[in-house]
Structure 1
Amino acid sequence: MYFKKSHIVFLTPGFARSDSDSTTIPALQVYLKKLKKQLPNTRMTLITFQFPFVTKKYDWNGIQVIPLNGNNKRYKKFWTWKKALKTLKKLHQQKPITVIHSFWIGECSFIASRFSEKNNIKHINTVMGQDANLGNRYAKSLKNSCTDIITLSENQKNKLLKNHNLKSQIIPWDLDTKKFPKLQKSTLDILGVGSLNEIKNYSLFVNIISELVKKFPNLKVEIIGEGVNQKKLEKQIITFNLTKNIKLIGLLPRLMVLEKMSEAKILLHTSSFESFGFVFLEALYAGMQIVSFDVGLAKPTLKWRVCKTENEMIEACKRFLIAPKKEKNRMSLIEEKFCISSYIKLYDA
């Protein structure tokens, strides 16, 4: 494929600290690996504003990563921005930047928009999460700009338009299906995957399991992830006498998460918000069934129950649990290579 853009610079708040770090923004990692493979002769540089907390440049799968080490410290914010602009200027002098691709509507999109307009460089911004919600002051910097804004799902696109009157194009993430283990017999009834925070709503998850064990006393449940609500969840599990049913696994490398998915029957996802839900793609391709709210790219199918209430989630789980056992099969919602080809067209426009 001929590609005329010779230097793409990515701006992100955080990124993987090394090739072995598989848990930091996995969707972005999958995308960049595929993009580099598709465009091996294109120079790619990634500037990460906040983490990892290091200052030395490093190579990540053929992409140079420049960490600014903002450390998530408020007092370092303007220093980080100044350093980002200085770094962009230096990179542009070394080899002209032809595209800047920023992630999240935040400090990265703000700096990217400012630098790209000044230097007449194409700017693409991907809206990644809660940055589409009300109260995001950075959204103003994208209004009346020439930035191509990308959202990940219909839900997110509508939210961005409603909250900030910003139009966008949908480009969903894609999976690296080669990393998935073979489909296996289900030895785990229900799996939860995600950070233990308020948004992921694991207190509701535990409530649902407490109702399900009344009918399925030997229910086997695991939760993968870590976060600020861990102690709270541990206490709730003890209070409901669910220590024999629910195991908190903690953080796992991505390949181990996929292995767990291949062994599980149902992904119970109680999150109150998702911009996309990369975990949904993973679960379906791992042969799982899903119970969730209408978040991200939620799409009702025979294998996916999209619910409105806690009771609907309980009933959906019951139906999946009592259904006759069938041979697992993979399901793909996104056309392979759609993500890569869509972004390359944007870069090259």
Structure 2
Amino acid sequence: MGKINLCFFEPIGNTFGSERSMIELIKEISTNEKFFNKINTVCYTPKDSGINELLKDNKIKFYTWHKVDLHKRSKLRIFLHALKLLWFCFSRNIDVLHVNQTGGLAYGLFVKKFLPNISLVCYSRYYDDHKIYVKYGAKLNRIGSIICVSQKQKRDLIEVLPDYESNFRVLYNPFKLKLENISRSEFQNKSNFVVLGRIASEKNLMFIIKSWPKVVGSVANAKLEFYGDVVSDYDVKYLESLKSKILELKLNKLIFFKGYVKDPKDIISGSRAMILASSFEPMGRVIIESFMNNTIPLVSSYDTGALEIIKAMNLDKLVFERENSVSLTNKISMIEGLDYKSYMDIIDTGKKWIINNLDIEGKIADYFNIVSGS
């Protein structure tokens, strides 16, 4: 087999949790000494996107285009962009087209209609991706591989796409593992509780805020910090409603919005616990980041990829009942009462699972097998 020509295509340029993990995986496989002579990677993304920043200084060729707003651009404009991608793949003899995001999937399926021999690898982050498959999939003899980031996500998609069950592959987000422990004094300096992620309604941030009076009644002066950005007009309105609720509950001296941070490592490691109340999480990258930075995560009982991972770690004690303020308060009180050894025992349990399942070296091989059809 000659070199595989892989095109990584992302029409929007997002670098949020799940996308960031897959971008980092592609960076590694394109530079790893075991695989760089087997795969030739080009990246086709918007100008000035975060992806370009993440992949700079690597042996990856960049080709850029103007950013596409899939919700606001005309159908004609999007169609013209799809034609550009089709020509890009044809002229460069692309063997594998790896697409991110719902919009990227639509472009990928368009290309595959005209270049059926291309293997289309779809990194499926959103559940709504199935709508595009239903619309276009019946016209295709072979899609290629559809990468899911959890067994939960795979089950959801198979329910609406039973004919494509054999196409699905589960590939957990990989990580470069740096698993140093913290000292007893560093543990004693831990304070506050944090929520890390995009400001969006599916993160159930309003539930956490409404629960905080009960939390404060159990853990005096417990402070809560939100770290994340807004990416749509709807999210801006949601953020305004959250701030209004904080004022209504007179919690403005205990709850704070800190905005987006590029590297949250110190924020995570300095917190007592991270709270994830999401009703939708394909995997929940922040759960892994929490353990890697020696902070216990608390996860809601919503059926998500994050819950799947916590259960795989046999750490059900970290799960609170969804939309249940008393349950969340009890879990926070439990964390607050742990001594250094008990706290680190939980961290070590999570880290052992991460080492066995998410090491990027193993995921590089898995990803190569997917794109090469092995």
TM-score, normalising length from structure 2?
0.78
Sequence identity (%): 17
The worse-fitting range, judged by mean Cα deviation, of 293-302 and 265-274 is: 293-302
Superposed, which structure 2 residues align to 1:1-349 within 5 Å? 4-15=2-13, 25-38=19-32, 39-41=35-37, 42-48=39-45, 52=49, 61-63=58-60, 64-72=62-70, 74-93=72-91, 95-104=92-101, 106-119=102-115, 120-132=117-129, 136-143=131-138, 145-147=141-143, 148-165=145-162, 166-167=164-165, 168-178=168-178, 183=182, 184-185=186-187, 186-227=189-230, 228=236, 229-253=238-262, 255=263, 257-293=264-300, 294-298=303-307, 299-300=310-311, 301-302=314-315, 305-309=318-322, 310=324, 311-326=326-341, 328=344, 329=347, 331=351, 332-333=353-354, 334-336=357-359, 337-349=361-373
The worse-fitting range, judged by mean Cα deviation, of 162-171 and 328-337 is: 328-337
Q: Provide the C-alpha distance between the structure 2 equivalents of 1:207 and 1:79, rounded to a whole number of angstroms.
A: 44
For these two proteins, the number of residue pairs brought into alignment is 332
Q: Provide the C-alpha distance between the structure 1 equivalents of 2:57 and 2:204, rounded to a whole number of angstroms.
A: 33
Q: Provide the C-alpha distance between the structure 1 equivalents of 2:18 and 2:171, rounded to a whole number of angstroms.
A: 20
Q: Considering fraction of residues, name the structure with more strand.
A: 1
Q: Letter of the aligned partner of 1:84 in structure 2?
A: A
Q: Provide the C-alpha distance between the structure 2 equivalents of 1:51 and 1:145, rounded to a whole number of angstroms.
A: 36
Question: Does the Cα contact within 8 Å between 2:9 and 2:44 map onto a contact in 1?
Answer: yes
Q: Provide the C-alpha distance between the structure 2 equivalents of 1:51 and 1:71, rounded to a whole number of angstroms.
A: 15
Is the partner of 1:292 in helix, strand or coil?
strand
Q: Provide the C-alpha distance between the structure 2 equivalents of 1:153 and 1:23, rounded to a whole number of angstroms.
A: 14
Q: Provide the C-alpha distance between the structure 2 equivalents of 1:90 and 1:48, rounded to a whole number of angstroms.
A: 12
Is the partner of 2:291 in helix, strand or coil?
helix
* Cα gap change, 1:205 to 1:145, in 2 (>3 Å): farther
Task: Report how far residue 195 of structure 1 moved.
Answer: 1.4
Q: Provide the C-alpha distance between the structure 2 equivalents of 1:130 and 1:60, rounded to a whole number of angstroms.
A: 33
Listed as ranges, the gaps of 5+ residues in structure 1 are none
The worse-fitting range, judged by mean Cα deviation, of 324-333 and 196-205 is: 324-333
The worse-fitting range, judged by mean Cα deviation, of 119-128 and 313-322 is: 313-322
TM-score, normalising length from structure 1?
0.84
Is the partner of 2:108 in helix, strand or coil?
helix
Task: Report how far residue 30 of structure 1 moved.
Answer: 1.9
The worse-fitting range, judged by mean Cα deviation, of 240-249 and 271-280 is: 240-249
Is the partner of 2:81 in helix, strand or coil?
helix
**2:233: which partner in 1?**
none
Q: Letter of the aligned partner of 2:214 in structure 1?
A: E
Is the partner of 1:234 in helix, strand or coil?
helix
- CA deviation profile, 1:234-293 (whole Å, cap 9, x unmatched): 22122222222222111111x2x1211111121111111111111111112112212112
Question: Does the Cα contact within 8 Å between 2:6 and 2:94 map onto a contact in 1?
Answer: yes
- CA deviation profile, 1:82-108 (whole Å, cap 9, x unmatched): 233334324432x3111111123x332
Question: Does the Cα contact within 8 Å between 2:82 and 2:110 map onto a contact in 1?
Answer: no
Q: Letter of the aligned partner of 2:80 in structure 1?
A: K
